[in-house]
Amino acid sequence: MKLRWFLWLGLLGLVALLVLTWPGQKIRLVFCDVGQGDGAVLVKGDFQMVFDTGPDNGKMVECLDRQMAFWDKRLEVIVLSHMDSDHSGGLKSLEKYFQIEKLYTNEQNNYSEKLNSSDMLRSDWFTFEVVSSGEGATDNDKSVVGILKVNQKQVLFTGDAGMEVEQRLVWRKKIVDDRSSVVERILKVSHHGSKTGTSQELLAAFRPKVAVISVGKNNRYGHPSSEVIKRLEENGVEIWRTDEMGEIKFDL
């Protein structure tokens, strides 16, 4: 009799676990708390698209474990903005725990596909348009910069691109204030809030409601800079920081 009760309790526990972890169809974007680095994931059901992997500290794997069903060991897409270790270092750990279907970077190599300006990654519910990649004098400026569009929301991923890149994209009208079809914009602040990015031109053109700064606590670089914080505040942008809030989630 006792054995039967234990079996029933075990079955009920399994059912409860499946119900709690079964992936729904809600679309969410999570900026992971990876310390001093960048890492985010777009999730719908059992589909995941990762934007940068953070440094090699295990935090990106922990973040994905919280966002994915425990039986899901596949990542459909990873986009690395560039190969700096604070953006790509976590890839080694992801390769150990997950099967990666598509890997894109800003440069040509033997294990990934190169993203070029004007390339588009798309499905029936999102698009990711590359507006800059591989252009610029520095590794940071060569970052993949892209606009994710889901429903009537836009998210601008900037990697570590500097002001010159931002201004060029505004001048070329790659980044515009399209109020006719967009109800909300989110800016992933460039280079962890370094003073090298987040120009007034970019803010005036993109007009974000929220700016996410992916940054480590008490980092040695002084990120985010007071100049960037002031500029965001003067433009009426809400500032959300991973060093203060941990993981940052948006329902799209």
Q: Which residue matches tokens 């059901």?
A: 45
Is this model's pTM higher than 0.85 or not? yes
Higher pLDDT, 108 or 87: 87
How far apart CA 232 and CA 211 sit, in angstroms, is: 8
142-163 pLDDT, tens digit each = 999 999 999 999 999 999 999 9
Dihedral angle computed from the Cα positions of residues 165, 219, 240 and 76, in that order, rounded to the nearest 10 degrees = 70
Burial of 56 (0-12, 13-18, 19+ CB in 10 A): middle
Each residue of 167-210: pLDDT tens digit? 999 999 999 876 666 779 999 999 999 999 999 999 999 999 99
Contacts of 241 (CB under 8 A, 6+ apart): 212, 213, 215, 224
Query: Which domains are seen in the chain, by residue range?
Result: 24-251 (3.60.15.10)
Contact between 41 and 51 (Cβ < 8 Å):
yes
Confidence check: pLDDT of 22 > 60:
no
**Cβ atoms of residues 88 and 94 within 8 Å:** no
